[in-house]
Amino acid sequence: MEENKELEQKKEHGFKSGVLTGVLGTAAVVLAAGAVLFAHGNLKVSETAGTSQTAQTVLDDGTLSKLDELMGQINLNYYEDVDASDLQEGLYSGLLEGLNDPYSAYYTEEEYKDLMEQTQGNFYGIGAGLSQDKESMQVTITKVYEDTPAEKAGLKAGDVIVKVDDIDATSMEVSDLVQHIRGEEGTTVHLEIYRPGESDDLEYDIERAKVNYETVTGQLLDGGIGYIYVSEFGEDTANQFEKTIADLESQGMKAMIVDLRNNGGGMITAVTQMLDDILPEGLLVYTEDKYGNRQEFKSSDDTKLEYPMAVLVNGYSASASEIFAGAIRDYDYGTLIGTTTYGKGVVQKIIPLPDGDAVKLTIAKYYTPKGENIQGTGIDPDIELEYEYTGDPDADFDIYSDNQVAKAIEVLEGELD
């Protein structure tokens, strides 16, 4: 039973062995399963006169008195000496945690520096994709890339990350956990792994290295149906998408499947460029902050793809994936197949602070072209279909035995007749 479960985890929802949600390799953006950072440098946030008053409300006399009391207890009873700067950083982190928003966080100067290096592609990882359960916060490896440190170490799709060095993997959002797995080339990260079927957790010391990977792959299926698998929306994803479409067109593509299952999202510029290639001129998505400031992303011209289209989604299709699915749905441009998407309809921005630290805050909601915000609800598919692999479990993965792909083929063949 455990072997069959593990096989399903390996083969579930995707091209070859799985679908990526948070890549631990070289990338241009911060990516996460269900927690994806959008860059909105032009969004204007109104200043309010009540900022200092709010600070005074939080740090009132009672709060300051309690802090003094807590420090007294620490100094008197804690078994080791403490660093005041560590406690101060704990206060800052705790303030953000008080928002009860899993997407907002405080970064120390060192953490912010590491984050910026990583978002600009100047970092190294192990070559694995991660997914996080939004309820339990469990982090699972969904894909291990070929010829990477993760593969060489023996990690497998379906492995559950218990700890990263001394950090409990369920203690933070996966986008922040990824920052601890990435690091300088040649350095080592220690992972504690739970693997179904193993009685004890497994321990791995993995040396970080530069990892190159594709975020878009494709193949032509029978009947001229193109299958395009998008693992994330990274800096080069839109260009890879365009090249993949051109290649499939040269092979005679007549209809198209876009697979976004387990795609945790990524850059809004990537997904809107792809939608611009597909949809006619018009609104693709817009954001709105608490002051009513609105930013719109539009298709720039009336060029569009004329192919019948199906889009595959599931509960781990998040953020930018939901922007894609929502626009296709609102324009009635394709059939959504699978299960309800993750439900992340908010936008984050990283704001540097004068002392070198930084804060990541949820600053706005985003809306589909018809004005729906899907935060906490997700997008329901047109055809609800739970995943099932119908092929030989002992044979190589067969895309035609993926029942959701098979349903998409059936739908598209009907439209082509």
Q: Which residues are designated catalytic?
A: 319, 330, 344
Please name which of 305, 318, 380, 383 lies closest in space to residue 345, comparing C-alpha atoms: 318
Tokens of 136: 């339990």
Q: How far is CA 311 from the centre of its chain?
A: 18
DSSP secondary structure letter of residue 397? P
Instruction: Give the C-alpha separation, 40 to 25, whole Å.
Output: 24
Instruction: Give the C-alpha separation, 213 to 209, whole Å.
Output: 13
Pair 393, 7: CB distance under 8 Å:
yes
DSSP secondary structure letter of residue 222? G
Query: Which is it for the CA torsion 13, 19, 21, 24, positive or negative?
Result: positive
Please name which of 172, 102, 182, 123 lies closest in space to residue 348, comparing C-alpha atoms: 102
Residues in Cβ contact with 176 at an 8 Å cutoff, skipping those fewer than 6 apart: 105
